Amino acid sequence: MNDEHRARDPVNDEDALEDMLRHAAGIIDPVPAHLLQTAVEAYALNTLDAELAELTFDSLDQSAAVRGAGQPRMLTFLGHGLTLDLEITAGRLVGQLIPPQTAEIEILGSRQITITTDTLGRFTCEHVATGPFSLSCKADGVVITTEWLTV
Amino acid sequence: MDRDSIGKLFQAAVGGDAAAWKALVEGLSPLVWSVVRAHGLTEADGQEVYQTTWFRFAQHLRRIREPEKAGSWLASTARHECLKVIKATRRLAPTDDPEVLDRAGDDRTPEQSVIDAEEAAAEAERVRQVWSAFQELGENCKRLLRVLMASPPPSYQEVSAALGIAVGSIGPIRQRCLRRLRAHLAEQGIR
C-alpha cells in the first residue's frame, strides 16, 4: 500500500481534528530544545571509523523466566572477530573480551571512562552513569565500538 | 517529511553536510519524541531513549541502505528501546507508575508564552481543552494519536514502525479514535 502521501481533504473533520492535536502537541509537549541539540551534536558520532559491533544477545529480549527478578542485564556484542560479553547491575559493569587478551576499553556516555582489561580480557567498572551508553574496545590494533544502548 | 526530502538530506548528511543533518534532526525529531511519549515513559527515560535513538542513527548513517525510510528506521529503533526500558523498569519496580502522556503545562515554551497573551487567550483555552479531551481517551487511542500528531504528519509506514501495528489497521483505528475525541469535545460543548 502506498500511503506516503496520505490523502488529506481540508474539509474533512478528522483531518482537521488531527491537525488541531498536532498544534496542541507543538505547544504542550514539544521536543525539549536541549534534547534536539544533543541529536544535532550526535552528527560527530558518524565520523568514527571503528568497526560497529552488533548486539547479538540482550537478556531484555528474553522471556520473563530467563530474565527473572533482580538479574543483571546481559549483553553480547560481536565485531571484527571479537566477542564482548557485558553484565550490568545497578551501575556496575562487568565485561569479558573473547578471545582473552589485554585491551583498552573506553565507555562513552554522559561520563567518559577509560579502563584496561586484565590479561584474560576481564574488566569491571563500578560507576557507569545511566543514560545512553556505548563501549569502544581497542585490542591488538583493532577498534570495535558497540551500538548505542539505553541502560 | 516526504521521502524525497528525507532521502536527499540523508545523502547530503552522509557526504559530510552538517546542515543537512541538522535539518534531518529537526524534521524527524517530533516523530521520535512522539514515539517515546506514546509509550508512556517517564520524562528521564524518554529523554534517554530519544538520545539513544539519534546516537545510534548517527552511528549507522553510512550503513543504512534505504535512506528514504530513515523515518521508519528511527521510529522502529525508538519503539524497541522503549519496550526494553519498560521491561527493565517492570523488573526493577513491579509497581512502577509511569507519567503516561501527562505533561499539560509543566514547561512553558516560547509558544506557550505567546498564546498566553490576552488576545490569544481563547485559542489557548481551546488548545487546553483539546489536550485534556485527548488525555481522557483510552490507552490504545492515546498511543496511536500521539504518534499521528507528530509534525510533520508521519506516513503510515512510520506509524506502523513506531507502534508495531499493521499499516492497514491504522486508518480504521485512527478514524474511530478521532470520532471518540470529537464526541468528548462535543460533550463539553466544544466545536
A30-81 per-position pLDDT tens digit: 999 999 999 999 998 876 667 889 899 999 887 654 545 567 889 999 998 8
B179/A36 Cβ within 8 A: no
Show the cell assigned to A147. 551500538
CA B137 – CA B98 distance, rounded (Å) = 17
- What pLDDT score does B101 carry? 46
Q: What is the pLDDT of residues B40-88, one digit of tens each?
A: 998 899 999 999 999 999 999 988 889 889 999 999 999 999 999 998 8
Q: In terms of Cα–Cα distance, which of A148, A58, A105, A46 is closest to B25?
A: A46
Domains defined along chain A, listed by start: 50-150 (2.60.40)
Which of A1, A29, A44 faces B103 most closely, judged by CB atoms? A29
Contacts of A77 in chain B (CB under 8 A): none
CA B189 – CA B136 distance, rounded (Å) = 16
Contacts of B155 in chain A (CB under 8 A): 3-4, 6
Which of A36, A69, A150 faces B91 most closely, judged by CB atoms? A69
Query: How many CB atoms sit inside 10 A of residue B117's CB?
Result: 10
B150/A22 Cβ within 8 A: yes
Domain ranges, ordered by start, for chain B:
3-100+138-187
Q: Does B151 touch chain A (CB under 8 A)?
A: yes
- Residue B40 region by backbone torsions, left for phi larger than 0, else alpha for psi between -120 and 50, else beta: left
User: Cα–Cα–Cα angle for B111, B113, B114, nearest 5°?
Assistant: 65
